[in-house]
Amino acid sequence: MLLAIREKVQGWIAWAIVLVLIVPFALWGIDQYSTGERQQVVAEVNGETITGTEFLRFYNRQRMRLQEQFGDMFDQVVEDEPLRDQVLDSLIESRLIKQWAEKQGMLISDQQLASVIQAAEVFQENGRFSERVYQDLLMRNGLTVSSFEFEQRQFLIETQFRGLTESSVFTTSSELEALFKLQNQRRDIDYIRLDQRVYRDQIKISEDDMQAYYEANKDVFVTPEQVVVEYVSLSMDEIVASLQVSDQDVSDYYETNIGLFTQPEMRRARHILIRGEEEVALAEIKDIQAKLAAGEDFAKLAQSHSQDPGSAMNGGDLDFFESGMMVPEFDEVVFKMQVGDVSDVVKTDFGWHLIKLTDISEQRAQDFNEVKQDVAHQLKLETAERLYFEQLETLNTVAYEQPDSLEPLLTIVDGGIQTSKAFSREGGSEGWVALPKVLEATFSDDVFKSRLNSAAIEVEPNTSIVLRIKDYTPEYQQTFAEVESQINTRLVRQESIRKAAELADKLMAEIEAGAEPKTLVRSGVEWHVVGFIERQNQQVLPQISQAAFKAKKPVDGQPTWAPTQLTTGDTVLIRINQVDVLETEQTRSQMGQIEQALASIYGASEVEARIDSIKQAAKIKKRDIYLTIR
């Protein structure tokens, strides 16, 4: 067709056609013709649009980040709609900040942008920015230079916005002191615990009461619909266990992959570590250096002076280590030394070191007979991995092409057809029947309604199953006879808890009348003398600790009391005898951290308040397409 146009259309007609084509491509680009739905608008912010393309780019990026973070737990932890809401809200917020910054005349110059990008280590080669590395890394991550630099410019604008806003907050000394006292508060407590279990044998529940409870709570005693599935399993571990490899195959693999079985060069060293203030630490390590120069033994000096508790007792010996195992400054020095050399002073994040190299283990290929079993196992793993994915593909194909039975799949996998325990749409209590992706597949239209095979589902790393419905039990109302014992247990527990709480009220009245708590001890009533506790402690249950720190402080030296109920149903009466603040050199040293934490909280609140203010003045329109766009 294009050849025909070229032959038959000449002169001004041809140029007219060219112009007709060039104008839209120049204005909107080829991408506009190919992306279709993705150019739909998902939101408008003060008249500016956020496109589907932009939304999907950030949505997919965030989704991948969360998948890396949560792994197999991703489907259980992350819900799609809240994630989409979060991404769109973030884009709207970013657009609002950009608009605000433009009104205030804020901008990021090309020089600022270039400086930030060129300083990023990820784009550097041999310590210097590399244009080749920069473009290659962007390309491998599906980014163009222009789109990346646009995003970076926006990120820097947002950083500048947040920095300016946070710089307006400050903390006062009185606020810091109040927070310090609150954080380091201690309370001297004792408590009475009333065990509700002592009443259980005394309580009799009538059948009428149980029947009344059943009628009032019928919805609690409904057994949900349940299914039993049959399934076949494909496991890479089982493939590995079934494989046999010949000695020749193992030998060939060893020769081809000799690098996998080569021990790197390793070095053994002793060190002396001195920590503390720079001036004092340097003076001490220089003194040790002088003793070494005078001929004193390195190991003995390490035993008596080194502040590394892990190696000092062994004369500073660190045993053998390979390159990269130590911090870079330490590593760089050691791997340039000769055996017997003692380094000059080396500074790391841990302090100041003197290092003596004591031995070198040269790089060597491990003898074949020495690693034969490891080589065989590695060969099996690689072979099994290939077979696993080949069989997985075949499994999916056969399950789809012959969807009415699992029998055809037995030609692909071993182990036969297995059967699960019954489970509902909420899943089972353990194993893969609790996985959301298994439940989604099981109760999908194809599997649940049409009774077809599922596609392969990965239930563990390198373990997949194909399942189908074997049995189905519809939802049904349990009869009173079926749940009578459950109801009796519930009502007995409720009554036991009520009686324990009732007794607690009586004991509290006796205490207020002047009774000593220890005189109230009896069956089911315990008196515990505790003493001072801090907010984070292991002396009492967390519920007791939380209630104690919420209680009123003693007044005029008179203790106060606070009741609380534990999850066990027991009632606890807590006595607060005294409140003070733990002031030590160690707790006072936390003031800097408290100031930073308070400034961070105030700064975040100020940023949030400013963004909320900007939002309230803005015209924002979300379009529902963002919930379904792919």
Q: Is 110 found in the same domain as 136? A: yes
Q: What is the mean pLDDT of residues 494-517?
A: 95
Q: What is the mean pLDDT of residues 177-198?
A: 91
**Domains contained in the chain, number:** 5
User: What local confidence, expressed as pLDDT, does residue 21 receive?
Assistant: 38
Give the pLDDT band (50/70/90) at residue 152. confident
Single out the residue of 97, 106, 82 nearest to residue 608, CA to CA. 97
Q: Is 69 found in the same domain as 21? A: no
User: What local confidence, expressed as pLDDT, does residue 206 receive?
Assistant: 95
Domain boundary among 474, 492, 527: 474
Q: Is 330 found in the same domain as 281? A: yes
In a domain, 514, yes or no: yes
State the Cα–Cα distance between residues 187 and 579, nearest whole angstrom.
5
Distance, first Cα to last Cα, the chain: 34
Greater confidence (170 vs 117) lies with: 117
Q: Is 165 found in the same domain as 44? A: yes
Q: Is 598 found in the same domain as 520? A: no
DSSP letter assigned to residue 395: H
Domain boundary among 454, 474, 494: 474
Q: Is 377 found in the same domain as 444? A: yes
pTM: 0.55
Q: What is the mean pLDDT of residues 328-340?
A: 92
DSSP 514-571: T--GGGG-BTTEEEEEEEEEESS-SSS-HHHHHHHHHSPPPBTTB-EEEEEE-TTS-E
In a domain, 277, yes or no: yes
352: domain CATH number is 3.10.50.40
In a domain, 221, yes or no: no
User: What local confidence, expressed as pLDDT, does residue 104 receive?
Assistant: 83
| pLDDT tens digits along 435-467 | 889 999 999 999 999 999 999 999 988 999 999
Greater confidence (595 vs 434) lies with: 434
Beta bridge partners of 354: 272
Is the model's pLDDT at 370 over the cut of 70?
yes
**Total residue count of the chain as it appears in this document:** 630
In a domain, 176, yes or no: no
Q: Is 158 found in the same domain as 19? A: no
Give SS3 for 430: coil
User: What local confidence, expressed as pLDDT, does residue 522 receive?
Assistant: 92
In a domain, 257, yes or no: no
Q: What mean pLDDT is reported for the chain?
A: 86
Comparing 220-234, 302-316, 579-593, which segment has the lowest mean pLDDT? 579-593
Mark residue 324 as left, alpha or beta (left: phi above 0; alpha: psi -120 to 50; beta: remaining).
Answer: left
Single out the residue of 159, 194, 126, 266 nearest to residue 496, CA to CA. 194
Comparing 76-80, 385-389, 612-616, which segment has the lowest mean pLDDT? 76-80
Domain boundary among 306, 328, 362: 362
In a domain, 344, yes or no: yes
Per DSSP, the chain holds a count of helices (H) and strands (E) of 22, 21
User: What local confidence, expressed as pLDDT, does residue 179 receive?
Assistant: 83
- Boundaries of domain holding 345: 265-362
| pLDDT tens digits along 536-581 | 899 999 999 999 999 999 988 899 999 999 999 999 999 999 999 8
User: What local confidence, expressed as pLDDT, does residue 453 receive?
Assistant: 96
| pLDDT tens digits along 94-117 | 888 888 888 888 888 888 888 888
Is the model's pLDDT at 33 over the cut of 90?
no
139: domain CATH number is 1.10.4030.10
Q: What is the mean pLDDT of residues 5-32?
A: 39
Q: Is 40 found in the same domain as 159? A: yes
Share of the chain above pLDDT 70, in %: 94
User: What local confidence, expressed as pLDDT, does residue 12 receive?
Assistant: 38
In a domain, 386, yes or no: yes
Is the model's pLDDT at 211 over the cut of 50?
yes
- Please check whether residue 127 is in contact with residue 328, taking contact to mean a CB–CB distance below 8 angstroms: no
Q: Is 146 found in the same domain as 285? A: no
In a domain, 150, yes or no: yes
Q: Is 429 found in the same domain as 307? A: no
User: What local confidence, expressed as pLDDT, does residue 39 receive?
Assistant: 64
Q: Is 346 found in the same domain as 291? A: yes
Is the model's pLDDT at 22 over the cut of 50?
no
Q: What is the mean pLDDT of residues 140-155?
A: 82
Q: What are the start-end ranges of the E strands in 236-309? A: 262-263, 266-274
Q: Is 524 found in the same domain as 381? A: no
- Please check whether residue 207 is in contact with residue 590, taking contact to mean a CB–CB distance below 8 angstroms: no
